[in-house]
Amino acid sequence: MHEKTIAQLSASLATGEFSSEELTRALLERVERFNPSLNAFITVTAESALAQARAADERRRQGAAGLLTGIPIAHKDIFCTDGVRTSCGSRILDRFIAPYNATVVERLNAAGAVMLGKTNMDEFAMGSSNETSFYGPVRNPWDLDAVPGGSSGGSAAAVAARLTPGATGTDTGGSIRQPAALCGITGIKPTYGRVSRWGMIAYASSLDQGGPMARTAEDCALLLGAMAGFDLRDSTSVDRPAPDYAALLDQPLTGLKIGLPKEYFGEGLDSAVARVVEDAIAEYRKLGAETVEISLPNSHLAIPAYYVVAPAECSSNLARFDGVRYGHRCENPKDLLDLYTRSRGEGFGAEVQRRILVGTFALSAGYYDAYYLKAQQIRRLISDDFRQAFAQVDVIMGPTSPTVAFNLGEKVDDPITMYLSDIYTIAVNLAGLPGLSLPVGFVGQRPVGLQVIGDYFTEDRLLNVAHRYQQVTDWHQRAPTAFA
Ligand code: GLN
């Protein structure tokens, strides 16, 4: 059963080939068997999963099943889950049991999905390799010496290893797309405002966006269909109905105009990755698309601007973790200041502390104009680059990441090299645009992802563009040998 996609599982559940309870048991057994080597899950919710599965089977008997009824999934541990530990990969929330469900969790529950557990992630979603997690690194199922990418590395590894057919992720600067690329799966970061952020622990509020990760674009369409939509409880949620993504997957690509930004194919891009990406683009030409070279001239400013905006917003968002209301509290504080400083010092890891310091500095009196305001101005220039590009082309394509998965430990001591993993993904968040990554080949054993960027609210188009490619290629069907 584990080899089937969500769409295939949904069909099997509908014909009664197996029940959701049988499917859930089979996947829980795989989690038990493989998680010790992958470390993809922080928490496994076996009992409540089986209860949800039985309820889904019952709903089906009553004739009230939808496409996701009884489908097992996993949630990144950044989404609040009622009665279940929600750690955000941090020691400071190690014992935090959320008292409510995030909207995304609520919506997937309502669609009948079964939660297998919570997946590992970089601490507070800060990272590109899953190595900043308090719970230890996740390993890449394609090569256990390699990182899975981050910050949604647990979700990506769990999907790639066939422990779950789908999972949720969040993407502030690339955290859905980059791990999807490094693990050979499909993931989409929707337009900012498309998916509710309510109950999703905030990292950088003006950039964060939740989205689905699965093996195929079709499965992402099914999950996104359930996740997307207006939410009164998120003031940045956009009141605009979500289309039926699954129904729009088959549109032909004849005449599709693909922009290839020259800045995404230059220095810094691994040449073997470039060849795989160029082959994928050639396949799109065979499908009837046209390609044109475009320029996104401010691309080189994306990482510096992001590393002002994201730390600034995180320093404000993370101020709430103070050892008073919830989360880790130090032993025997001698006064209030000691309580704050020791609780936070013990609770947050090194990368999170680095970003809080950078962000606090950038926002401090006298520096605001020089850093935060300047970064916001650059953000506008980056959005304008995309606006001009989308006046010419329908979608933009390029590599998701400049290299394939790197080895565990390879970049931990060098934050700048680590930050460069997101060189092609970060601008998309700064502009609030949707972006998707799909598997298009390998360098050696390690997968390569193609990034497809669209104009605002064109998730349907991105999924369609990925789906048509997956109809004529089989990269998305390849499984890492040890987990086939
Ligand atoms: N790697 C980037 C960072 O560390 C992006 C993370 C993300 O998208 N959550 O901030």
Check residue 182 and give its pLDDT. Answer: 98
Of 111, 112, 104, whose CA–CA distance to 70 is shortest?
Answer: 112
**For ligand 1, is residue 128 a contact (CB within 6 Å)?**
yes
DSSP of 87-109: -TT-GGGTTPBPSS--HHHHHHH
Looking at per-residue pLDDT, the higher value among 24 and 367 belongs to 24
Q: Determine the pLDDT at residue 415.
A: 85
pTM above 0.85, yes or no: yes
Percent of the chain with pLDDT over 90: 96
Residue 124 is given by DSSP the state: G
Cα of 172 to ligand 1 centre, how many Å?
5
Pocket flag, ligand 1, residue 27 (CB < 6 Å)? no
Cβ(460) – ligand 1 distance below 6 Å = no
Distance from residue 152's CA to the centre of ligand 1 (Å): 9
What number of helices (H) and strands (E) belong to the chain?
15, 11
365 pLDDT higher than 90: no
- Ligand 1 centroid from CA 421, angstroms: 9
Evaluate: CB of 231 within 6 angstroms of ligand 1.
Answer: no
Q: Strand pairing of 435-443 and 290-294?
A: unpaired
Whether 366 shows a pLDDT value over 90: the answer reads no
Determine what percent of the chain is predicted with pLDDT higher than 70. 100
pLDDT of residue 356: 98
In angstroms, rounded to a whole number, what is the distance separating the alpha carbons of residues 45 and 314?
29
Evaluate: CB of 152 within 6 angstroms of ligand 1. Answer: no
Residue 93 pLDDT: 98
Backbone angles phi, psi at 294, to 5 degrees: -130, 175
Measured CA to CA in angstroms, residue 456 lies from 125, 212, 259, 467 at distances of 24, 17, 16, 19
> Are the C-beta atoms of residues 465 and 256 closer than 8 Å to each other?
yes
Query: Across the chain, what does the average pLDDT equal?
Result: 97
Cβ–Cβ under 8 Å, residues 414 and 444: no
- Alpha carbon nearest to ligand 1 atom 10, residue: 126
Whether 103 has a pLDDT exceeding 90, the answer reads yes
Question: According to the model, what pLDDT value does residue 417 have?
Answer: 85
User: Which of helix, strand or coil describes residue 460?
Assistant: helix
Burial of 125 (0-12, 13-18, 19+ CB in 10 A): buried
To the query of whether residue 20 is one of the catalytic residues in this protein, the response is no
The ligand 1 atom nearest the CA atom of 429: 8
> Measured from the CB, is residue 401 less than 6 Å from ligand 1?
no
pLDDT above 90 for 383: yes
DSSP code string of 147-209: ---SSSHHHHHHHHTTS-SEEEEEESSSTTHHHHHHHT-EEEEPPTTSB--TTBPPSSTTT-E
| Crossing angle (nearest 10°) for helices 459-472 and 217-227 | 160
Domain residue limits, the chain: 6-252+463-483
Q: What is the distance in angstroms between the CA of the first residue and the CA of the last residue of the chain?
A: 11
**C-alpha 285 – ligand 1 centre gap (Å):** 32
- Our answer on whether the CB atom of 174 is closer than 6 Å to any ligand 1 atom is yes
Q: For residue 41, what are the β-bridge partners?
A: 119
Q: How confident is the model at residue 206 (pLDDT cuts 50, 70, 90)?
A: very high
Ligand 1 atom closest to Cα of 174? 8
Of the candidates 20, 128, 175, 299, the residue annotated as catalytic is 175
Relative to the CA of 152, which ligand 1 atom is closest? 9
State how far the Cα of 340 lies from the Cα of 346, in Å rounded to an integer: 10
Average pLDDT value for residue range 13-30: 98
With cut-offs at 50, 70 and 90, classify the pLDDT of residue 416: confident
76 is catalytic: yes
Choose the residue to mutate in 175, 208, 306 for probing ligand 1, maximizing ligand atoms within 8 Å of C-beta.
175
For residue 358, what are the CA distances in angstroms to 71, 306, 367, 377?
A: 42, 12, 11, 19
Averaged pLDDT, 456-471: 98
H helices of 262-319, in order, are 271-286, 302-317
Ligand 1 mean position, distance from CA 426 (Å): 8
Residue 179 to residue 171: CA distance in whole angstroms:
10
CB atoms within 10 A of CB 350: 11
- Is any atom of ligand 1 closer than 6 Å to the C-beta of 127? yes
Which atom of ligand 1 lies nearest, measured to the CA of 351?
A: 4
Percent composition of the chain: helix, strand, coil (DSSP 3-state, to 5) = 45, 15, 40
pLDDT at res. 435? 98
- The answer on pLDDT for 126 being more than 90 is yes
Is position 315 annotated as part of the catalytic site? Answer: no
- Check pLDDT > 90 for residue 79: yes
- pLDDT, tens digit, 9 for 90 and up, residues 37-67: 999 999 999 999 999 999 999 999 999 999 9
Residue 477, pLDDT > 90, answer: yes
Q: Which CATH code fits 6-252+463-483?
A: 3.90.1300.10
- Residue whose Cα lies nearest atom 5 of ligand 1: it is 173
